[in-house]
Amino acid sequence: MTYICIFANPHPTLTPSSDYGGDRSFACRAALLRRHAEIADYRCIQALLANGTSFIDELYALGRAYEPTVAYCIAGEAGLLFEDVPADVRVVLPFAPDFITLRRIGHTVVLTSEDNTLIYMAPTLSDLAVIKRHLPGSPDIAARLRITTPFALDEFLLSSHEAALVDRAIRMVEMTSSEHSARVVATGTQGMVIGFVASSSLFMAVLNPALLCQLLHFVFSIFFSACILVRLLARINIGAVRVPPWRTLPSSGSLGYSVLVALYHEADVVPQLVNAMKELNWPRSKLQVLFLCEEDDSETIAALQAEMFPAGFRIIRIPSSGPRTKPKALNYGLQLAKGDYVVVYDAEDRPHPEQLQEAWWHFAKGGATLGCLQAPLILANGHVGWLTRLFAFEYAAHFGGVLPWLARNRLVLSLGGSSNHFRRSCLEAVGGWDPFNVTEDAELGTRLARCGFQVDMLSTPTIEDAPVGLGVWLRQRTRWLKGWMQTWLVEMRRPIRLVNQLGIPRFTVYQLLSIGMIVSALLYPLMLVFVANSAFYFTFADMAAMRPNLFIIDLLNILTGYVSFHALGRRALDGEKTPGPVPLWIPIYWFMISAAAWRALWQLHATPFLWEKKPHQPSTTAPSAPGCALDKFGP
């Protein structure tokens, strides 16, 4: 990259065509004005060469406190005025009315209270070269041009377009493709089909209950058995693919990374969260971290304001309108994201410091169709109690077994709610997240597949904490299952189109897993009742009254379900000792999942958009078994 020389060149050996001559001259001027010579030292020169940035970017990356000084230097060199954007002005730029366009062109035209038209901008080094070359011949424009800081410009644009941003956040999916929105739980056609199936089942239950029982057993056993088969296949394939040696490659900061963290009533975990974000290994000049807070969540906002933020860390207040859900907050933040890549973290997350680097490596090697990468989630408090133990065991089976198998076979992968890395262009192409879907991650994974984008897995994990209380666990699992029901209804609005977009093999596996997960959760207690009833007749009553074929099918499904779940979890843990008798707790754990499924089915009818949030507390435990070592999934 070639830069022009901004000031009189104090170094005879540096010419205007030198690789960083202009940057070094600018740095010397900035250092004198700031009285801190370290601003322009050789470390920043190294950073701009390594990161593909300019010295202006690196100076801004030193911290928010340096921004006015840097902007003042730019204004002084260009012969322009430096000032913040006044609060009493309004945007008047008819050819670029939306926030995204305004932010990307790097300036805005405003009308003051005195009816003066002014142009505020935060120029880059190349912008400054254009200004110096053309401004002397345009005195009228020079009189109207003002230099401000990037932060001040962004804040003004954000406040000026707040209503438009929140409206777009709510309607983003619908603007891309209305059929993918869960705003309508079930279409009229779907309602007719559901009503027909329900009434037909009711009539058959009256006319021929034995036939209905056999038919339902046969149909539901297919989906239950499909889940078992996937677990067994996933267990066989664990460790089949060698993790690529991405750490041997240099990182590239020439591409920006935006981190989105949606927060609501999370003041307690703010210090832990901010520290985790600070530890991410990515060039500061190319890292943007947005803390997305509801505007009435004063405690969380105050806790964030008390932290010492690096440059690029910002608090974003989201207006309280529309569905107050995490996906709406993420859509709001997506419109503010500057990075080429976007990653989503939860409030309690502690991602591996090298996770962004590994994701970049995969994106660089995977091509334009690689739209998303899912990092494995493992739990730090899996040893605290029986509930967290089972939750951690389930996470190990899911993120260490099922998802890698689906990704390896290019099948539809339901994302986890955290540590999703996106190529931003792909995320914007599919319309972001659905604010009306309470399990937005699973729906987005399906939509990416439908649009032709690939989803793959990372090896560097993110550490989380499992819910300790039974009530918290039940509410969280209810929301997940309700969201999966929403997602299936949305995807099945046009089944023929879904088959064409996914292909028959992927469509078949998607249906078997989606329906199998929901059906098995709902009918698990009924299967236990039927098996117990059949066993009673076998032992104490007339054997002719029992149905041995159905008894054998249900018994095999239940037993192989237990075995496959335990075998996959043990294999995913790779020999780590599991504290406590996990196999003995599996039947009870599945019964709890069933209770959450029936609760989710009722909420789907009564309160489909209710978001039952999981509260978070600062972690007091170090990562430990089961499946909680930081380098567990590392290369």
Q: What string of DSSP letters covers 343-396?
A: EEE-TT-EE-TTHHHHHHHHHHHH-TTEEEEE--EEETTTTSSHHHHHHHHHHH
Burial class (CB within 10 angstroms; exposed 0-12, middle 13-18, buried 19+) of 605: exposed
Q: Residue 79: what pLDDT?
A: 84
Q: Residue 37: what pLDDT?
A: 42
Provide CB contacts within 8 A for 508, sequence distance 6+: none
Please state, in angstroms and rounded to a whole number, the distance separating the CA atoms of residues 483 and 584.
29
Q: Residue 511: what pLDDT?
A: 92
Q: Residue 68: what pLDDT?
A: 82
Please state, in angstroms and rounded to a whole number, the distance separating the CA atoms of residues 52 and 184.
46
The secondary element (H helix, E strand) that includes residue 324 is: none
Q: Residue 257: what pLDDT?
A: 94
What residue has token string 């104490």? 540
Give the pair of three-digit tokens for residue 172: 């983003």
Please state, in angstroms and rounded to a whole number, the distance separating the CA atoms of residues 617 and 269.
6
Q: For 503-547, where are the alpha helices, taking DSSP H only?
A: 504-540
> Residue 554: how many CB atoms within 10 A of its CB?
23
Q: Are strands 350-351 and 341-345 parallel, antiparallel or unpaired?
A: unpaired
Residue 322 has what DSSP assignment?
A: S
Q: Residue 4: what pLDDT?
A: 28
3-state DSSP percent of the chain in helix, strand and coil, to 5? 55, 10, 35
> Residue 54: how many CB atoms within 10 A of its CB?
21
Burial class (CB within 10 angstroms; exposed 0-12, middle 13-18, buried 19+) of 134: exposed
Q: Residue 18: what pLDDT?
A: 33
Please state, in angstroms and rounded to a whole number, the distance separating the CA atoms of residues 341 and 343.
7
Q: Residue 93: what pLDDT?
A: 62
Provide CB contacts within 8 A for 159, sequence distance 6+: none
Name the stretches of the chain with pLDDT < 70: 1-55, 62-65, 93-108, 111, 113-114, 239-254, 536-547, 575-581, 620-635
- Residues 503 and 449 sit within 8 Å (Cβ to Cβ): no
Q: Residue 483: what pLDDT?
A: 93
Closest of 428, 427, 393, 413 to residue 458, by C-alpha: 413
Please state, in angstroms and rounded to a whole number, the distance separating the CA atoms of residues 481 and 427.
24
Please state, in angstroms and rounded to a whole number, the distance separating the CA atoms of residues 148 and 93.
18
